[in-house]
Chain A
Amino acid sequence: MNVLIYLVPLALGVGLIALFAFFWALKNGQFDDPDGAAHRILSDDDLKK
């Protein structure tokens, strides 16, 4: 059972990373335009021809 001593905090750490990733995305405006994001992914404008 000693394996829990580091496995459980490790799992929490992974969860925390996800939480900070969410905060980062929020701060960078990733959730500002959900409708537009659905269309932008289909656009090839950012490709250099």
Chain B
Amino acid sequence: MAEAVDYSLFVDRSGDGASRIEFAVEGGEAPLSISAIERTLAALPGLDDARLNLTKRRVTLAWRDASFDPATAIAALRELGVKSHPLRVDHGEEAEARHAQWLLKCVGVAAFATMNIMLLSVSVWAGNATDISPETRDFFHWLSALIAIPAVAYAGQPFFRSAAAALGRRELNMDVPISLGVLLAVGMSLYETANHAEHAYFDSATMLLLFLLAGRFLDQSMRRRTRAAAGNLAALKGETARRLGADDEPVTVPVAALQPGDRVVVRPGERIPADGVVLSGASTLDDSVITGETARRPVAAQDRVHAGGLNFEGALVVEVTAAAADSLLDEIERLVERAADAKSRTLRLADRVARRYAPVVHVTAFATAVGWILAGAGVHAAIVTAIAVLIITCPCALALAVPAVQVVASGALFRAGVLLNASDALERCAGVDTIVFDKTGTLTLPEPGVANRADVAPDLVAAAGRLAQSSRHPLALALAREARDRRPLLDAAEEPGRGVRAVIEGVEARLGSPSFCDVAAPAPASGSTICFRLGERTAVFAIRQTLRPAAVETVQALARTGLRLIILSGDAPAAVAPIAEMLGVAEARGGLKPADKIAAVEALKAEGRTVLMVGDGLNDAPALAAADASLSPIAAVDLARAQADAVFLGETLAPVADMLRVSRKAMALMRQNLGIAVVYNLVAVPLAILGYVTPLVAAAAMSGSSIIVTLNALRAGPIRPKDRDRAAPVNIEAMRALAPEVLP
């Protein structure tokens, strides 16, 4: 289907005639090759500059020649086997990038200050133990102050601003005790330095900032990567609409190109691309994205529909009333907000801790000062001790304990191709003891093909293909690719889990399960059948699927870890059995309707099982929502992705095992880290109250606890090849004999 697509919407034009466009790129199995891509693009006439950013997986093109067409670049990339799709300029992403740069500058300043002040401090500590002259010590302390004051004023801003904002709302967050601790440490050190004292805490103040800034930068850069990846996904998904031309032939256009008055076809499983009025067709819509209402709403001709509504049953023709210029961005925003929400809720958890922690700290410090005065110590000594309590309790380790693990774990998952969608996905996946797999599109690749085309009359193939265009079921898509006539049937209605029907030239046509089409189909040894009835004529199409790469290894490795594995499929039991046998899964059921899947999941939960549902497809969506945790491959229809806690990319099934392994490890490490932070406080606070905390002790305790917590978090990290290869060698030949065409 090669039709012209207008890319002008995606081009960023600056005033001086230069144009820029950004593509999200995806290389399939082969890694992207910088030199191949850049050399190919550089050879295009009219293009000034092409640069691939491998971290973001984006290509930026720049040109001045007005005759250059970005479509030639897409074609050139496609010849290299690289899929590309233009991205719209996202100003939110630019703002995040600027914020990240600012944080990195703060880290740089804090690191510079910490290293140089530590150089001076170590000299003073060593000198105090031997024979430093008071003049030299004062000189070193004043130099430290000279470095620390501007450094804290600059690098402390992220915390000061956040603390001020929280105080403005009359709330306490983690940044309030941090800011207070840093400012008091600097203030007291200045006072002590002016009074020629032995101790100054400039090193503690800057070191505290350095550790916390590093944590904050890592957290932010993880969020930025997720955002960029979500943007790429939305772009590669190619938010498009099927616009009807004057001849009723649908043409795929970017949603952003829709104009009021355009007619678009919306198939079941697709979202309404733009606000409009239904011209023909009848269906039910899930408007939960828009209204929060989860009950579906029936729509027919003349009804108003809104962008984002999910079409369930029948193909609709919609006349656009409002241009959908922001629809792609909206989609990105939804993905990002969910990802960002995942972060902010953990921050909120940290803030909840802070809300209890901060008052305890402040009361302890105050009580220390009062206690020492009552015990007969001078006011000055009492206040110095109280401030030492504040410095030592600065929740360094506590503030790093949970986020550090989450950053490392989500980073590892990101590299393994899993994007977290829900805030507590890690936590919920960690407790899973039962995994329910869907078969079609989950254990197998989403795109099967028609195997027995030659055995069926060509006109039946054509009619079935035309009807199949109205369905989003993966088996129907294979048939739809066979269609010559691309005009969809406007009155087609899809019944989830059963099939699709319509009237073709006065004859009823049904496509779907044998019972739905009333066809006696012999169960195939492997693969699936899709039946077609056109009046009295019938046909049975054999649609064959291939397992996802690494499916056998992954499932067997999961089984060995003691998980209960179940396959629940809407497909024919005869098609499910060979796959279950090949994967070594004893519990497999086929022929299930969406409601049956929910019932099965609910039954497992009633047994006290914690269920992870792995699935895609229209009939899995309710089961994904019903399970304790859910995971979807990204090729899934929108509906499934909207419900899943996490999505995984690519063709292999290995991310399922990675998700479980990383989330379990992450949960264990979070608990450990919180334990370490508590132990640290139990040891350090009594020492501080008793007045034993010199700058040396504070520096050692703070850096020690932070480093331990961070190093511990790193263990959540890389997914090593040996973890994946722990699966026993699989006898591929024996399996090929079992079911020749299912293996890749």
Contact = CB atoms under 8 A, between A and B. Distances in A.
Contact of A45 (B35, B53, B147): B35
Contact of A33 (B54, B133, B140): B54
Given A31-B104, A45-B35, A15 B112 contact: yes
Given A22-B108, A26-B104, A26-B105, A33 B55 contact: yes
Contacts of B133: 1
A8 B412 CA distance: 43
B38 interface: yes
Interface string B108-139: 11001001100110000000000001001001
B136 A15 contact: no
Contact of B35 (A1, A8, A34, A43): A43
B139 A4 contact: yes
Contact of A36 (B55, B101, B104, B119): B55
A14 to B, nearest CB: 10
A48 B120 CA distance: 50
A18 B472 CA distance: 58
Contact of A18 (B39, B53, B112, B136): B112
B189 to A, nearest CB: 18
A49 interface: no
Contacts of A35: 54-55
Contacts, number: 51
For B38, B116, B143, the residue with the greatest tally of chain A CB atoms inside 10 Å of its CB is B116
Nearest to A16: B112
A23 B106 CA distance: 10
A15 B101 CA distance: 20
A32 to B, nearest CB: 7
Query: What size tier do the contact residues of chain B reach?
Result: 20 to 34
B549 to A, nearest CB: 23
Instruction: Tell me if A's interface is mostly helix, strand, loop or mixed.
Output: helix
Contact of B34 (A4, A15, A23, A40): A40
A1 B147 CA distance: 21
Contacts of A9: 143
Given A4-B139, A26-B101, A26-B105, A36 B112 contact: no
B20 to A, nearest CB: 15
A33 B35 CA distance: 15
A19 B109 contact: yes
A25 B355 CA distance: 39
Query: What size tier do the contact residues of chain A reach?
Result: 20 to 34
Interface string B262-287: 00000000000000000000000000
A46 to B, nearest CB: 10
B626 interface: no
For B55, B56, B109, the residue with the greatest tally of chain A CB atoms inside 10 Å of its CB is B55
Contacts of B35: 43, 45
A41 B426 CA distance: 36
Contacts of B120: 8
Given A4-B136, A36-B54, A36-B55, A43 B105 contact: no
Interface in B49-83: 52-56
A39 B34 CA distance: 7
Given A4-B136, A11-B119, A36 B108 contact: no
B118 to A, nearest CB: 11
Nearest to A38: B54
A14 B503 CA distance: 81
A39 B119 contact: no
Contacts of B101: 26
Contacts of A8: 120, 140, 143
A19 B108 contact: yes
Contacts of A39: 34, 54
B230 to A, nearest CB: 18
Contacts of A12: 116, 143, 147
Nearest to A39: B34
B136 A45 contact: no
A19 B109 CA distance: 7
B92 to A, nearest CB: 17
A19 to B, nearest CB: 5
A33 B56 CA distance: 7
A11 B147 CA distance: 13
B47 to A, nearest CB: 16
Nearest to B115: A15
A15 B643 CA distance: 52
Nearest to B100: A31
Contacts of B38: 45
Nearest to B102: A26
A29 to B, nearest CB: 10
B55 A19 contact: no
A19 B55 CA distance: 25
A20 to B, nearest CB: 10
A45 B136 CA distance: 56
A12 to B, nearest CB: 6
A26 B106 CA distance: 12
Contacts of A31: 104
B141 to A, nearest CB: 12
B55 A23 contact: no
Contacts of B55: 32-36
B34 A43 contact: yes
A36 B115 contact: no
A23 B52 CA distance: 23
For A1, A31, A33, the residue with the greatest tally of chain B CB atoms inside 10 Å of its CB is A33
B136 A36 contact: no
A19 B120 CA distance: 18
Nearest to B34: A39
A19 B112 contact: yes
Contacts of A26: 101, 104-105, 108
A13 to B, nearest CB: 11
A24 to B, nearest CB: 11
Nearest to A9: B143
Nearest to B108: A22
B108 A23 contact: yes
* Complex A-B, nearest 5 residue pairs according to Cβ-Cβ distance, in ascending order: A36-B54, A35-B54, A35-B55, A33-B53, A19-B112
18 contacts: A1-B133, A8-B120, A11-B116, A12-B116, A12-B143, A15-B116, A19-B108, A19-B109, A19-B112, A32-B55, A33-B55, A34-B55, A36-B52, A36-B54, A36-B55, A39-B34, A45-B35, A45-B38
Given A16-B112, A36-B52, A45-B35, 17 more contacts: A1-B133, A4-B139, A8-B120, A8-B143, A11-B116, A11-B119, A12-B147, A15-B112, A18-B112, A19-B108, A19-B112, A22-B108, A31-B104, A32-B55, A33-B54, A33-B56, A36-B54
Interface of A: 1, 4, 8-9, 11-12, 15-16, 18-19, 22-23, 26, 31-36, 39-40, 43, 45
Interface of B: 34-35, 38-39, 52-56, 101, 104-105, 108-109, 112, 115-116, 119-120, 133, 136, 139-140, 143, 147
